[in-house]
Structure 1
Amino acid sequence: MIYLRLIAESFRFAWQALRSNLLRTILSLLGVTIGIFAIISVFTLVDSLEKNVRDSMSFIGDKVIYVQKWPWSFGGNYPWWKYFQRPEPNMREFRLLERNLTNDAGAAIFVDKGNNTFKQGSNSFSDANLMGVTFEYNKVAEIPIETGRYFIPQEVDGGRNVVIIGSEMATALFPYTEPLGQQVKVAGQKLVVIGVMEKQGESMFGLPNYDQMGIIPYGAFAKMFDVGPDGLGSTISVKGREEDAGLLELEYEIRGLMRNIRGLRPRDEDNFALNRPEMATQAIGGFFEVVGLAGWVIGGFAILVGGFGIANIMFVSVKERTNIIGIQKSLGAKNYFILFQFLFESVFLSLIGGGIGILLVFLLTLIPQDMMEVSLSVGNIILGLGVSAVIGMLSGIIPAVLASNLDPVIAIRSK
């Protein structure tokens, strides 16, 4: 009960100090408000940007290794012209990998081509990406179906003319009718729509997204376009298992099988590339760490100024209430009661400043954005309030100790 009374008493003193010197308090808390606003706004933008980038890259899958002709990054002393001599991955190699892999959770081969025009009656959708996939592609990468269904094995094995389209394409081609069961035309072929994917929104850095994409069976794609050594190159994608940390076992197995399939001798260099999404996500993660550090530095200076402002308020408050402190002590108030009273006031004031900064960040997230969705996470709110509380404690500890150690007789005599 005494602790509740202590908190209530401390809250009352803090509120009185805030009301009696409103302008001084606001100016002093401005530093904390700006600092918390700077830190939390940077973290909010970084988190939202990172989430948007990772969502935009979801089409390449997670824990996946891609067997391709070209590496995603060039390094070492490998002559660039040797890359041109590498063969493209093909269906035969995929079937051999599919049959012999033991450390995978699914494998698929796909091929894609951009700048396609889909037509339906008088409606058309240009600059679309068309992808041909084998049946297990949905195990390698996420294909979010909103209406309709995914392919069945018979459709993929028979190379049937069926297609799953993106939401933006569906809206453009079928503005007033249900797309499922309707026909669209692309590259001279008629395709039946069997599914429409969920809306993904505009992707970051120009990455392709499902909204403007059509997905068809690999065999149907091969009938429409030239796929092979002299045409469009395919990519073999292999999903790793959760227990395979770092996909090391899967990578060793794929490399060994591919070298055996292509008849490479022990001293021959690999004539294929094993690419991973982690190459991109690690680079992105490093960039976000730098931005987050910059946010801490910028916000830290503002919070430092705000901390001195709160300390100044507390020193003035101790001086103004020295007589009251003496009366409280003469009536039996313990040192810890006085200490907690001023420390609570300091933390309370700092939390107000931090809360205002977080509120400003939240108001910014309400502004509609076409490029990405910005949201304030619970973790960032807790971080902002936690930093504010720590600043309040550090700023108020010295004034609180001085107040608790005042001699009651001398304090009562002060004016």
Structure 2
Amino acid sequence: MARVIFHVDMNSFYASVEQAYHPELKGKPIAIAGNPKERRGIIVTSSYEARAKGVYTTMIVQEALKKCPELILLPPDFQKYREASKAMFTILRSYTKLVEPVSIDEGYMDVTEVAKERHPLELAKEIQLRIYNELDLPCSIGIAPNKFLAKTASDMKKPMGITVLRKREVPEKLWPLPVIKMHGVGESTAKKLESLGIYTIGDLANAHEGLLKEAFGKIGVRLKRRANGIDSREVDPESIYETKSVGNSTTLPYDITEMKDIESTFLKLSGKVAERLEAKNLCGSTITIQIRDCHWNNHTKSKTVQNPIYLKKDLYHEAMELFSKAWDGTPIRLLGVTVSNVMDKKHLAEQLTIFNYEQFAKEEPIYEIIYEMEKKFGKGIIQKGIDVKKKSYASKTSFSKDFLEDLKEEL
């Protein structure tokens, strides 16, 4: 039997939660935004009434008010959004244990077993109505045989849509669309694909695999498979326990070009990332910086280091080294630092290099003593350091990822 996968996507989530708490806001253009007096004041999300007036996510507050003078601006209330998210996932888990949260407002469900007893469309309608009646929140649901098609389907009809997308319908429904419309293809990837003569999803589906592999590596092959409606990924409830990256970025109060301001910003960002890595007991081997200039152009630069890092000073050093190679002198609006390819620090195995072998040589006699004692008293009798569960006071700077901590507590 073919798999039956749902992608449940909450509609205009933050704004909808505010309207659920404050019914007088229903039917009105509202937006969740940062401080409008600062340049950091950007639209986080907006209601469909505001979107109809031209207000969209990441738009500067002042620009949004020009488009929609009657726009009602609200500060984010993350506690309310956390509670609503937990309640939504509780409903999803009442149907199957195979629920994979992706972010605070979306997740996958594998309802293959449930669908043996109930029609998937009937099941989707029930889930949608329960979320709406019990939480007063709208959602869209995509139904498909795999995660990629389910995600694509849920985007097709909003708000309160239910869309079925079968693999055999891919040539008709997806292939005519511009490649930028495909889930997983961003602006830079779309531009690169267009430079190869690939303009539509159909072009991508029929492109030569060797050409894509040469241009994008393994990702190119994966994109071609997705464009053909092929996706073998399982719905994995355990994925909430995996952290793939830790990062932090900041929009600056004004465009900067002075090196002292740049260094100060990277030092703060490195400190915040180091705090979050420490809180999760993680280290990582790939560091990426993001630069957004005054013209809203985004530039990224990455480096994979031999020995995974987690300390503020190391993060700062690598970030500045990358920055010196990436910046062209254009005034900077935003900076970011991300560490990926992360692992638990207790699994860290440092590789010997000409720079650190002396340190290992000094510790060799200690290892010999430990070896002899373990032979006598048993393995693990002596450990290098103690793994203590620390209470973290680090700020949760990546809300869309850190909300998963709440879901772990529920399980």
Question: Relative contact order, CA 8 A, sep 6+: which one is greater?
Answer: 1
TM-score w.r.t. the length of structure 2 is 0.23
The structure number with the bigger radius of gyration is 1
Greater strand share, structure number: 2
Q: So what's the TM-score if we normalise by structure 1?
A: 0.22
Query: Which has more helix, going by share of residues?
Result: 1
